[in-house]
Amino acid sequence: MRRGKTFIISGPSGVGKSTVLHALFADWNDLYFSVSATTRAPRVGEVDGKDYHFIAAEQFRAMIEKDAFLEYAEYVGNFYGTPKKYVDEAMEAGRDVILDIEIQGATQVCEKRPETVRIFIAPPSWEELERRLTARGTDTPEKVQKRLLRAKVEMETAGNYDYFVINDTVENAVSELRAIMCAEHCKPNERMNQIMNQQ
């Protein structure tokens, strides 16, 4: 059985990443969505093991020391991280793994595992991103401009990503994601082993 691969998916605020990921998982059972561990308390309605793996701070620190995270970070006093365990189990079972993380986390993962594939979800244009951010109605015009500026900086920082998927429509974005995942399984290393071992 072919081993799974890990794909990191990042993208700026407002680009529609959650909608795209939701559509991707609706179509495809062979994927594992990596659930982060966190030391923050569960909010009402959040389910342990589904929204997050809720763990105590001592346990989180012990895991850091055991190098049990692919990446982790502290954010307003709480820790968040990607446990290696579930990712590895899914890949061993032949499932591709999706990590929904930011650029800094992606850099940490790729330092440990350079074979990880990084995909950045980009807007079709800056105008369209501005329109989407404004349409959400949650931010002031000044906040929208700040997010827009941040998106541009993020996109330049993501220049070393492997792929850019443009979210013009959810359907196109999902189809590009699936194409990338399929193509990555056609890389020589994986295929040579597969064929050469069948003498």
- Give the interface with a copy of itself as residue ranges (CB under 8 A): 119, 122-127, 155, 159-166, 175-176, 178-180, 182-184, 186-188, 191-192, 194-196, 198-199
User: What's the min distance (Å) between Cβ of 44 and a copy of itself?
Assistant: 39
Give the nearer residue to a copy of itself in terms of CB position, either 137 or 199: 199
With H, G, I as helix, E, B as strand and everything else as coil, classify residue 42. Answer: coil
Closer Cβ to a copy of itself, 63 or 158, answer by number? 158
> Cβ 154 to a copy of itself, closest distance in Å?
12
Angle between helix axes 170-184 and 17-27 (nearest 10 degrees) is 60
Is the CB of residue 148 less than 8 Å from the CB of residue 130?
Answer: yes
User: CB of residue 9 vs a copy of itself: minimum separation in angstroms?
Assistant: 13
- To a copy of itself, the closest distance from the beta carbon of 146 in angstroms equals 17
CB of 63 within 8 A of CB of 37? yes
The smaller minimum CB distance to a copy of itself, of residues 88 and 175, is found at: 175
Strand ranges (DSSP E) for 4-125?
6-10, 31-33, 37-38, 53-54, 69-75, 78-83, 96-100, 117-122
Query: Could you give the CA distance from residue 102 to residue 15 in angstroms, rounded to a whole number?
Result: 13
CB of 151 to a copy of itself, least distance (A): 10
Q: Which is nearer to a copy of itself, 1 or 196 (CB)?
A: 196
Output 143 or 152, the one with its CB closest to a copy of itself.
152
